[in-house]
Amino acid sequence: MSNDKMELTDRARAGSTNRRWTRLIPVILVIYIIAYIDRVNIGFGMGQIRESLHMDAAQGGFAAGIFFIGYLVLQVPGGYLAQKWSARKVVFCLMLGWGLCAILAGFVANYGQLLTARFMLGVFEGGVQPALMVLINRWFPKSEKGRAFSLFIMHNPIATVITAPLAGLILMHGSWRELFVIQGLLPLLIGVGLWLWVAADDPAEARWLSAQEAQEIATLKAADGDDSAASNWRAAVKSPYVWLLALMGMLVWLGFYGLQLWLPTLLKTVFKGELTVGLVAAIPPICAAAAIWINGRGADRDGRYNVRVAVPLIVGGVILATSTLITANQPWLVVLALAAATACQLSFFGPYWTMNSTLVRPEAVGAGFGIINGIGNLGGLLGPYVGGWIQDTTGSLALASVFFGCSVILAGIMALALRGAVRRRVSADS
């Protein structure tokens, strides 16, 4: 970063531009925590749902998984419209849709209706993340994007800790139908209100920012180079970096499916008692939250985005590849491995999306972010099927773990290979 940029950034940090950190980012975080809750709550009510709708285990699994098929539909349109039209309006419309679908899931009468509700929930939620990525990219200069994107992914460990107790409390006093309805009301009663109060497509449009604050942010953004180009989906499709970064994301989320293959089950085996398991299960998300912040902040300070993507992925891949060597006689090693792997899985996110915003040209950001996020999430959808096929074909859980570990390691190597491209783009924008 040049001395002029550092001076601008320091002056902004010392001034009043912290409001975007204390207002915009917390609201984005709350919205995506709610999205996570509505996405996974079916798992907590699945026993009751199967009994009520006369479903077998395979149907239950498909009802949970069809969400992720719908999730792909609006990835590119959501990002494209957020850049071309309005991220604020796109997220608002999608929140209304996902809230209504989540509520309607509580009134389904049969398996087909449940599939429809879950699919449409995925459709509406799918466009939200790329739209939010566009908004963060617009509000934060390059010197702060690592932290901004890292705080976004903080929704995962926070939601992981609170989702189970919240679902359990509702199910103690009601059925799966109340679970869907109550949690479906969250985006409508909380998310929409907060979003309309805080969200703005540009700092100059934010009512809670003074003209001076908006100008300071604009000055910081201008120092990074022009990012105001009109949205062009063709530029995204033609960009080799979009597809390379999308492949990298797919390898990561495909590989980290292995986290769910072995270690969490072993955790429940070696620790007895609901309270003990609950307390121990909170350790990995806490470690992940700390790692997310440390890595994102470090990326903003040293600008070594590739290294801060590659190191967590390579370390996490090694842990995954060797995880089946851990046995039930090593309880705290299980906890350590799961905590380290979870931290690696999530801490790469902030530097990764900063790297994305660096390599993807301004005119391709909206559709490009949608492609990257959509194909990346496709890895998580394919993970169960690939893992199941390897185990069925070879009869080896260890081989499946090695495959998933190698997938993550390959993504880390790709991040290192793009180091020169990132350096050239940063130099060109300086």
Averaged pLDDT for residues 325-347: 83
Contacts of 378 (CB under 8 A, 6+ apart): 72, 250, 253
pLDDT exceeds cutoff 50 at 14? no
Structure tokens at 329: 């006689």
Kindly list the structural domains of the chain, giving each domain's residue range(s) and its CATH number in brackets, ordered by start: 1-227 (1.20.1250.20), 229-430 (1.20.1250.20)
Most confident of 52-56, 159-163, 334-338: 52-56
As a whole number, mean pLDDT of residues 102-126 equals 96
Checking 172-181 for CB contacts under 8 A at 24+ apart, the result is 175/45, 175/48, 175/52, 176/45, 176/48, 176/49, 176/52, 176/106, 177/106, 177/107, 178/106, 179/41, 179/44, 179/45, 179/106, 180/41, 180/45, 180/102, 180/103, 180/105, 180/106, 181/103, 181/106, 181/107
Prediction pTM value: 0.87
Distance CA 134, CA 294 (A): 23
Predicted confidence at residue 307, as pLDDT, reads 94
Percent of the chain with pLDDT over 90: 51
| Mean model confidence pLDDT for the chain | 87
Q: What is the pLDDT of residues 255-311, one digit of tens each?
A: 887 776 666 666 666 776 656 666 777 888 899 999 999 999 999 999 899 999 999
